[in-house]
């Protein structure tokens, strides 16, 4: 797969607004995470992350068949760096899911892209939207139902650091490696990161219930293949700081997925928090519309 020349007609994904790609990716990720959490008893949290990453890496490698033989050293470094961020982000957040609700974990994880958006901001309006999102994050974390154990919070914070690194490295890889070849190699690297920690529990679970392979085939596509490809396309067309604030929809989507699929109920305070982060996302999208247009014209 290669990037079309500048005078070529845009592909299907190029016709979709970049914010829509980013939001679709988030919905896909959280649906996959909620489905995976329902099977933590069989394969464990790290085993679930390993199955997700393995399926995603294998499926994407078979479809893309990346041409890596002519890669430069900088391209390899970029792809490996993205893979390390991916592996850490997935393993840490799945461990957090095992002890705290999905909505709470993703809210804490969101501190990564939120901090990144604040670092890159150049306009006071973006600071206002980011602070509004931060208020929602604090409300959702403090008022959430369920246990918020220290270990779960710690792993969610570690996932937040990896998420910020993922955003930076995803844009870096997308700018230097055509198509999704870089993403494909990065997924393989992330799979290798998780294998030493989750292989045993994953194998035991699949051996006891072989149908779990089909379940995690769906989880791998929903949570790895589809969203990462969509995000890479989106990051080629919008600034990193805007993408980071758009991720403020993540906690709302995660909480809704946890409620519908896992049965993790929402409290009134959580609904207020989710409204705060959603309004912040809408605000930054509207205020950054000119930025999208300028990036698209220069792409």
Distance CA 22, CA 227 (A): 8
Highest mean pLDDT among 18-27, 42-51, 219-228, 277-286: 42-51
pLDDT confidence tier of residue 149, bands split at 50, 70 and 90: low
**CB-based burial of residue 98 (10 Å sphere; 0-12 exposed, 13-18 middle, 19+ buried)?**
middle
What is the total residue count of the chain?
299
Please give the pLDDT value at position 295. 39
Task: Pinpoint the alpha helices (H) of 9-149.
Answer: 12-15, 18-37, 40-43, 45-64, 73-97, 102-109, 111-120, 124-143
If one compares 24 and 135, the residue with the highest pLDDT of the two is 24
Please give the pLDDT value at position 140. 60
Cα–Cα distances in Å, from 173 out to 182, 233, 235, 287, 291? Answer: 6, 11, 10, 27, 21
Q: Provide the whole-model pTM.
A: 0.78
Which region among 7-11, 183-187, 188-192 has the lowest average model confidence (pLDDT)? 7-11
Query: Tens digits of per-residue pLDDT, 86-133?
Result: 999 999 999 999 888 888 888 788 778 777 766 766 677 777 877 887
């Amino acid at each position: 797969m290669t990037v079309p020349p500048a005078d070529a007609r845009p592909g299907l994904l190029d016709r979709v607004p970049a914010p829509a790609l980013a939001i679709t990716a988030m919905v896909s990720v959280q649906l996959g995470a909620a489905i995976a959490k329902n099977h933590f008893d069989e394969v464990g949290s790290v085993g679930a992350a390993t199955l997700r990453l393995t399926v995603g890496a294998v499926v994407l490698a078979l479809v893309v068949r990346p041409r890596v033989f002519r890669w430069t050293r900088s391209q390899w470094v970029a792809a490996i760096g993205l893979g390390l961020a991916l592996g850490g982000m997935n393993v840490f957040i799945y461990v957090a899911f095992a002890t705290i609700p999905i909505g709470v974990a993703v809210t804490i994880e969101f501190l990564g892209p939120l901090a990144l958006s604040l670092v890159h901001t150049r306009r006071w309006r973006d600071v206002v939207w980011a602070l509004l999102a931060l208020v929602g994050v604090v409300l959702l974390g403090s008022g959430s139902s369920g246990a918020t154990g220290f270990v779960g919070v710690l792993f969610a914070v570690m996932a937040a650091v990896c998420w910020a690194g993922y955003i930076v490295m995803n844009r870096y890889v997308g700018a230097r490696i055509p198509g999704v070849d870089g993403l494909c190699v990065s997924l393989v690297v992330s799979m290798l990161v998780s294998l030493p920690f989750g292989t045993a529990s994953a194998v035991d679970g699949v051996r006891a219930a072989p149908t779990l392979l089909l379940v995690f085939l769906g989880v791998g596509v929903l949570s790895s293949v589809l969203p990462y490809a969509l995000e890479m396309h989106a990051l080629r067309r919008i600034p990193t700081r805007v993408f980071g604030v758009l991720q403020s929809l993540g906690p709302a989507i995660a909480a809704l997925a946890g409620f519908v699929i896992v049965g993790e109920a929402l409290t009134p305070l959580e609904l207020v928090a989710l409204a705060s982060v959603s309004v912040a996302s809408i605000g930054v999208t509207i205020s950054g519309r000119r930025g999208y247009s300028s990036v698209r014209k220069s792409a």
